[in-house]
Amino acid sequence: MGNSDFITEIIKFINELFKSLNSGYLFFGGPWDFIRYVIDVVVVTLLFYWILVFVRQTRAWQLIKGIVLVLVFVLFCTILGMDMVSFLFNRLLYVFAIFFIILFQPELRRVLETVGLRTSGQVKGIFVKKPNEAYTDHTKAMVKEICDACAAMSASYTGALILIERNTKLNELTEQENAVHFESTVKSSVLQSIFYKGSPMHDGGLLIRNGVIIAARCHVPLAVTMHELEKSGTRHRAAVGASELGDTVVVVVSEERGTISIAVSGRLYEMRSAEELKANLSYLLGVADPAERKKHKKKGIMVPESAKTTRIEADGIVSEKHEIRTKDAVDINGFQNVSVGQKIFFLILSFILSLTLWLYIQIQNNPVVTKTITVPITYEKDKMPEGIDATNPVESCELTVVGRKNAIGNLVPSDITATIDYSELDPSSAGVYNLKVKIESAGTGRTFRVERQLPDTVSVTVYSVK
């Protein structure tokens, strides 16, 4: 179906929809069919909305805006009847689709991983109990050892790359030929010995699973968002790349500057101190104090850069309260980064896209069609007044009906009744009367509209007047 034909079919479909409201026939089928259509459109609208919000935060957003402009241009050319533009677009559409999938394969993979992580997290939250005290203490001890090691390596300008698994298992890293497999408790001394500049395991990433070091010297893929990390070294790009592998938390120490950073959900956060690193790791691994977690779970709170760390003085004691800078990365949907106006726009756009897709599917699978059918006319003798007879009896009526393909495709004469309506007859006066042939559906609901009827009246004669 060409673009012009599709537009014509849409106009025809919408016109028939409004005509169905006037004539009273069931354009959408029964009540359940209508409810099913509504649910279908709502579900696809929410799906489009989620995709738009997610893509808004990826590098694919600029390209998508360009694609939309091209589509608008092609639509405009189609309306004007520019066949060459439509021909070229139809031929190149599949090429562009394949190119888009190849170019943005990492983003598409991340979308699927996000759906899986959210679903598994919600199910786990329902059926799995909260971490016990032993797990919490073990994780807190691991966090302390990592922070102590990172503070020491930062002071000595020793580079480090530490990957902490959460739900997503990174078996592809442990299965590499160059990876060193061992099982060791997370200790500051062990971490420093692995990343010591003279160690053969200095280069590469170290993988921690369930609080245990399971592999070192792992080759980690670089981030796909390298254009945002132009001033960062290879180790930081690898950290961001590792954080894009599901929900992995990565700690990286810069060998050049001695800074400590956390990479999570494809974002890099530089820590100001080992204490701030400890606060953020505790939050990300679920072992922060309940009061702090409840506070930082509040959405929409934007903390100024200058207020990330506050100092509290009481009775001469100075303490620091560290802000959870990685809070915005916990929400893997990232909805907090999209303004309310953008959300409303995306919701309206999603509904338009969903409705357009629904119209296209309906036109393709169940379009509006016409059918010609001959129906016998029934003369109801018991309802005919005395002294009346048909002048020129007509045995059948030829109908041209309009409706959905699935509704009238198998329509047979027995599904329609054609009867003479005697309500307009005045039996008190003799003469010839033209009575209307009444068309009804033999079923429970009328799923068609009569566009043409031949004949539409039958002549009857009143012989006597009572």
HEC secondary structure over 50-100: HHHHHHCCCCHHHHHHHHHHHHHHHHHHHHCCCHHHHHHHHHHHHHHHHHH
CA-CA distance, 300 to 336, in Å (whole number)?
6
Mean pLDDT of the chain: 74
**pLDDT grade for 161, boundaries at 50, 70 and 90:** very high
- Residue 201: helix, strand or coil by DSSP? coil
Cα 21 to the center of its chain, rounded Å: 32
Give the per-residue pLDDT at 441: 76
Give the per-residue pLDDT at 230: 58
Residue of 15, 31, 27 whose CA lies nearest to 446: 27
Instruction: Give the position of tokens 């849409």.
Output: 10
The DSSP 8-state label assigned to residue 336 in this structure reads G
**pLDDT grade for 462, boundaries at 50, 70 and 90:** low
For the chain, domains (ranges, CATH) are 3-112+340-365 (no CATH), 133-286+289-323 (3.40.1700.10), 368-462 (2.170.120.30)
Would residue 387 be called left, alpha or beta, if left means φ above 0 and alpha means ψ between -120 and 50 degrees? left
Span 330-343, mean pLDDT?
Answer: 62
Is pLDDT above 50 for 333?
no
Higher pLDDT, 212 or 439: 212
Higher pLDDT, 158 or 383: 158
**pLDDT grade for 300, boundaries at 50, 70 and 90:** very low
Is pLDDT above 80 for 17?
no
Q: Work out the burial of residue 426: count CB atoms within 10 Å of its CB; fewer than 13 is exposed, 13-18 middle, 19 or more buried.
A: exposed
Residue 461 sits at φ, ψ, to 5 deg, of: -120, 135
Tens-digit pLDDT profile for residues 241-294: 888 877 889 999 998 888 999 998 878 888 888 889 999 988 888 887 655 545
Residue 48 sits at φ, ψ, to 5 deg, of: -60, -40
Would residue 302 be called left, alpha or beta, if left means φ above 0 and alpha means ψ between -120 and 50 degrees? beta
CA-CA distance, 62 to 336, in Å (whole number)?
20
Residue 371 in contact with residue 408, Cβ under 8 Å? yes
Task: Pick the range with the lowest mean pLDDT from 122-126, 154-158, 393-397, 427-431.
Answer: 122-126
Span 88-115, mean pLDDT?
Answer: 70
For 376-396, give one letter per residue: b (16+ CB within 10 A) or e: ebebeeeebeeebeeeeebee
Here the tokens at position 176 are 């590499």
Q: Half-sphere exposure of residue 445, counting CA atoms within 13 Å on the CB side?
A: 15
Share above pLDDT 90 across residues of the chain, in percent, rounded to a whole number:
13
Here the tokens at position 214 are 């399971």
Give the per-residue pLDDT at 330: 55
Is pLDDT above 50 for 384?
yes
Residue of 237, 239, 256, 258 whose CA lies nearest to 153: 258
Instruction: Give the position of tokens 């009744």.
Output: 417
CA-CA distance, 356 to 328, in Å (whole number)?
34
Cα 293 to the center of its chain, rounded Å: 29
Here the tokens at position 168 are 């997503």
Return the percent helix, strand and coil in the chain, to nearest 5. 50, 20, 30
Residue 340 in contact with residue 121, Cβ under 8 Å? no
Give the per-residue pLDDT at 419: 80
Give the per-residue pLDDT at 316: 41
For 344-363, give one letter per residue: b (16+ CB within 10 A) or e: eebbeebbebbeeeebeebb
